[in-house]
A and B are shown apart, each in its own frame.
Chain A
Amino acid sequence: MHALKSGLRWCFQRLEAALERAFGPRFNPLPQLGTLGWFLFWIVTVSGIYVYVFFDTGVTQAWESLERLSRDQWYLGGLMRSLHRYASDALVVVVLVHLLREFALDRMRGNRWFPWVTGVPLLWFMYACGITGYWLVWDELAQYVAITTSEWIDAIGIFAEPIARNFLDSGSLNGRFFSLMAYIHIALPLLMLLFMWIHIQRHAHARVNPPRELALGVLGALVVLSYAWPAHSQAPANLDRVPFTLGFDWFYLAVYPLLEFVGGNVLWLALVGFSVLLTLLPWLPPLRKPPPARVDLANCNGCARCFADCPFGAITMVHRTDGLPYQHEAQVDEDMCMSCGICVGACPTATPFRRAGVLSAGIELPDRSVAGLRDEVAAAAARLTGSPRIVVVGCAHDADSAALADERTAVIGLPCVGMLPPSFLDFVLSRHHAEGVLLSGCAAHDCYERLGDDWVEQRVANERDPNLRARVPRDRIAVAWNNPARHQRLRDSLAQFREHLAGLGPVRMRASAADALPSVTRAWRARLREWPGPLRWSGQAVVYALLAGFVGFFATQPAYTWLRQDHALLKLSFSHAGQPLKPCRRLSHEEMMNTPFSERRASDCERGRWPVYVELDLDGQPVYRGTHEPAGLWNDGPSSVYARFEVPAGRHRLAARLRDNGASSGFTVVAERNVELHPGENFVIDFRAADGGFRFGVPARPVTDEEAP
């Protein structure tokens, strides 16, 4: 597990570094996979509503209405229909990569289990939405999806009669089952939306919208794909025939072909097992993390800044418990705290200028106290020689800031750079500990602790409390947000920053109250060599083209072979009640008179039936032998049979035999028939006791031979 995770992480970090060159940090698609998922969901919703307006929910009209939409209204209706398909497929891609990435970057462990665990049912919802969607079109693929899904559900064995019997032949198709599917296809996305909302509940300031440029890029790619390669139905469904090959949506149906090899029950077990494993993953093995943040009431007045900044909603403001005349105090939920320290960075009492007593902030990380941090900064800075001296404050997930330490550079490592209270920046510069401070963190907008870089930028820019004091010169505070794969970029930033500082001369805070405050309010950042514009745009175009091509191709290719050429499909399926275990006994007149009027009946029957045993031979060779227990809690329901066989086309002799009376030998009904099976034919062998026994093929089919006795 660990090796897998490290390997994946290595890949993701390199891929992200590459994408960052083309997209820049703000529009890098990988940190935006979650928001892209939301965006694609909305595209699917809007296009789905549009298509639904023109959609006829009827077995015969559905296919026709959609093809008419694509034909007569290709510019909008066709576009919407194609977008509906391709955005759904892109959603699968985005969601699966999102899942892999959160796993690889270890952002689902320990107290971060909640979004991960609530994401597991979302996977099921997503697939169920896609599968029911393909069902509605009622083309050949829909026929495959309907039959295979029903057979798969039947493998669980909870229904008295197999659902797959609804799709046995054109005569058995039930329109109401079909409209039920339309309602399910609307209800499931609503449920999915509810779970998407729950999915982000534990994230404060959860992002649900991708940056506009990225959203437009993805939408543009899907629109181009939709016009270039419009989504069309395959031939209309015909339950009397089996298509040899199908255009196959591998994003949603990839597991279906497995059913032919492993069987329904095994696949259910595998998928449920996989889901359980996924659900348990945050605790495999349990995360060893430092102790959670602790509130020191003596220094907490309930100002709620930690509450506002906690990225994980781990802090709540509760009524005061120590009798002081404050209304509230902060309380840390230990089961949600990630020990990132961002709350410490928000606390107004976490200032290194306090020297009178023990420095203790209103909220502290037990393993990384503010007092210890102050001493560490002062001690590390004191060892610096030369000029200009720089204090680097790095985080546990940045591009290895620890390696930057040298005689002119002190490095302070924090769990997250957002833990640094802004007054520390004032402290370092005004007390002449260094000439500049470089804040190093994760890639921009991709902070491991979610919001560390955002808060740091906003605190420095006077946009968020606690503000960095206006008197602190911003051009001596540098920020460098880097993916771990871009250590060299961090080094370049540091080198440029030092050059920049050398040109500034000695540190000068505001000298007197009369001095104007520095006008620059943003932190300094290095101008690093980036790809030239045209190269960046080409890179982005390539990524969008790859997405469109990937989605467009696997939405229908490669074709799936449902039935081998020159074969027909033989289905043995019926529902028949075996005979009662004991014959009913007519009650005598006296017996009837002796029972109360309301319970009087003509005969006394014991519940329970014999199982039905059935045999099928093809050209004298046995192809099926099976005993089928009666359905129902009292074993008094019908026994159901559903089996299918691929048979070479041509003339065959079929022999079917049935026993429903519990006898140890002999048969109740025996039938034989010579049939001519055409390639691609769906040939059903039914049994209806009321109609005289076995039926070979649909009733209209001409009989090729005399019925055997």
Chain B
Amino acid sequence: MTLLQWQDTYSVGVAEVDHEHRGMIELINTLHTALGAERSGERVEAFLGEIFADISAHFALEERVMRERRYDALAEHKADHERLLDELRDIMDAQADGDSLDDAQLGSALAEWFGLHFRTHDARFHRSLPR
């Protein structure tokens, strides 16, 4: 079962940003599958680390694109990026310290975590771009 499905409505209309969104959905799904197959804490931790690095880089790029296009809600959007990264780090720490979430929790946390930002902040950015 895949956790997240790419939807065309996710597209923000910037090729490089969409490319990274797809890549991240893929990565989260891979993690989810791995979680189902073998519950190895270390492996989950490693995956989370990759996700963290990818998302950090992705946010950095997205913020650059927004800054260059003088996106008016950059400050709020960036604040949400920072919040998401902090929360992801909380999840990573919980995982590393052994009090790991179960599959469902982790999966839904990530899906929620990622999907909500998609549906709200990224969508607003998409709407702000000239067609």
List chain A positions with a Cβ less than 8 A from chain B.
299, 301-305, 324-327, 348-349, 351, 353-357, 362, 423, 426, 430-431, 465-467, 469-471, 509-510, 512-513, 517
Q: How far apart are the CA atoms of A510 and B89 in the complex, in Å?
A: 10
A323: min CB distance to chain B, Å: 12
Q: Is the CB of B19 within 8 A of A351?
A: no
Rounded to whole angstroms, the CA-CA distance of A431 and B92 in the bound complex is: 10
CA distance A496 to B108 in the complex (A): 45
B87 CB contacts on chain A under 8 angstroms? 513
Complex contact B16–A301 (CB within 8 A): yes
Looking at A354, A356, A470, which has the most chain B CB atoms within 10 Å of its CB? A356
What CA separation (Å) do A426 and B96 show in the bound complex? 13
- Cβ–Cβ contact A430 & B47, under 8 A: no
Cα A301 to Cα B42 in complex, Å, equals 27
Please report which residues of chain B, range 39-77, place their CB below 8 angstroms from some CB of chain A when the two chains form the complex.
42, 45-50, 52-54, 56-61, 63-64
A369 to chain B, nearest CB (A): 15
Number of A-B contacts (CB under 8 A): 90
Could you tell me the distance between the alpha carbons of A348 and B86 in the complex, rounded to whole angstroms?
14
**Cβ of A326: which chain B residues have Cβ within 8 Å of it?**
16, 19, 61
Considering the chains assembled together, what is the distance between the CA atoms of A303 and B47 in angstroms? 22
Q: Are A469 and B59 touching (Cβ within 8 A)?
A: no
Which of A304, A349, A470 has a CB less than 8 Å from the CB of B86?
A: A470
A353/B19 in contact, CB under 8 A: no
Contact B90 A356 (CB under 8 A): no
Report the nearest B residue to A300, measured CB to CB: B57
A469 touches B89 (CB 8 A): yes
Establish whether residues A354 and B50, one from each chain, have CB atoms under 8 Å apart when the complex forms.
yes
B49 touches A351 (CB 8 A): yes
In the bound assembly, the distance between CA atoms of A517 and B93 in angstroms comes to 15
Contact of B15 with A by CB under 8 A: yes
A262 to B63, CA, bound (A): 65
Residues on A with C-beta less than 8 A from B90 are: 471, 509-510, 512-513
Check if A349 sits within 8 Å of B53, measured CB to CB. Answer: yes
Inter-chain contact A327/B49, CB cutoff 8 Å: no
Given A353-B48, A471-B89, A510-B90, does the pair A466, B60 have CB atoms closer than 8 Å? yes
Q: A389 → chain B, closest Cβ, in Å?
A: 18
Bound: A373/B15 CA distance, A? 34
Q: In whole angstroms, how far apart are the Cα atoms of A210 and B93 in the complex?
A: 45
Question: Could you give 14 example pairs across A and B, Cβ below 8 Å?
Answer: A301-B16, A302-B16, A302-B61, A303-B63, A348-B56, A348-B59, A351-B53, A353-B48, A357-B50, A465-B60, A466-B60, A467-B82, A509-B93, A517-B86
CA distance A196 to B18 in the complex (A): 45
7 residue pairs, one from A and one from B, having the closest CB atoms: A303-B60, A353-B49, A355-B46, A348-B56, A356-B46, A348-B57, A303-B61
Closest-by-CB residue of B relative to A432 is: B97
User: In the complex, A682 Cα to B61 Cα: how many Å?
Assistant: 77
A305 to B89, CA, bound (A): 21
Complex contacts, A517 vs chain B, CB 8 Å: 86
Residues of chain B contacted by A351 (CB below 8 angstroms): 49, 52-53, 56
Q: Is residue B85 contacting chain A, with contact meaning CB distance below 8 A? A: yes
Q: Which residue of A lies closest to B52 (CB)?
A: A353
A164 to chain B, nearest CB (A): 62
A325 near B16: Cβ-Cβ < 8 Å: yes
Q: Is there an interface contact between A301 and B46, defined as CB atoms closer than 8 Å?
A: no
Q: Are B16 and A355 in contact (CB under 8 A)?
A: no
Give CA–CA (A370, B45) in the complex, Å: 19
Contact partners of A466 in chain B: CB under 8 A:
56, 60
Is the beta-carbon distance between B89 and A301 smaller than 8 angstroms? Answer: no
Chain A contacts of B50 at CB under 8 A? 354-357
Give CA–CA (A324, B16) in the complex, Å: 8
- Whether, in the assembled complex, B26 has its beta carbon less than 8 Å from a beta carbon of chain A, the answer is no
For B42, list chain A residues within 8 Å (CB). 355
Q: If the complex has contacts A305-B60, A349-B57, A351-B56, are A327 and B93 also in contact, measured as CB distance less than 8 A?
A: no
Chain A CB within 8 A of B20 CB:
yes
Residues of A contacting B16 with CB < 8 Å? 301-302, 325-327
Which of B15, B42, B86, B92 has most chain A Cβ within 10 Å? B86
Q: Which residues of B contact A512 (CB under 8 A)?
A: 90
Known interface pairs A326-B19, A426-B89, A469-B89; A348-B46 also in contact (CB < 8 Å): no
A282 to B64, CA, bound (A): 37
Measured in the bound complex, the distance between the Cα atoms of B48 and A538 in whole Å is 58
Q: For chain B, residues 8 to 40, give those with C-beta under 8 angstroms from any C-beta of chain A.
A: 15-16, 18-20
Q: In the assembled complex, how far is the CB of residue B22 from the closest CB belonging to chain A, in whole angstroms? A: 10
On chain A, the residues within 8 Å of B58 by CB distance are 301
How near does chain A come to B72, taking the closest CB pair, in angstroms?
19
A421 CB, nearest partner CB in chain B, Å: 10
Given contacts A430-B89, A466-B60, A470-B82, 10 further A-B contacts (CB under 8 A): A302-B64, A325-B15, A325-B19, A351-B52, A351-B56, A355-B45, A356-B50, A430-B93, A465-B63, A513-B90
Shortest distance from the beta carbon of A375 to any chain B beta carbon, whole Å? 14
Q: Which residues of B contact A357 (CB under 8 A)?
A: 50
Set of chain A residues within 8 Å of B53, measured between Cβ atoms: 348-349, 351, 353-354
B49 partner residues in chain A, CB cutoff 8 A: 351, 353-356
Cβ of B47 to closest chain A Cβ, rounded Å: 6
| Residue numbers in B under 8 Å from A353 (CB-CB) | 48-49, 52-53, 92
Q: A351-B49, A353-B49, A471-B90 are in contact. Are A301 and B96 (CB under 8 A)?
A: no
Distance of B53 from chain A, by nearest CB (Å): 5
Q: How far is the CA of A351 from the CA of B85 in the complex (A)?
A: 13
- Alpha-carbon distance A426/B64, docked complex (angstroms): 24
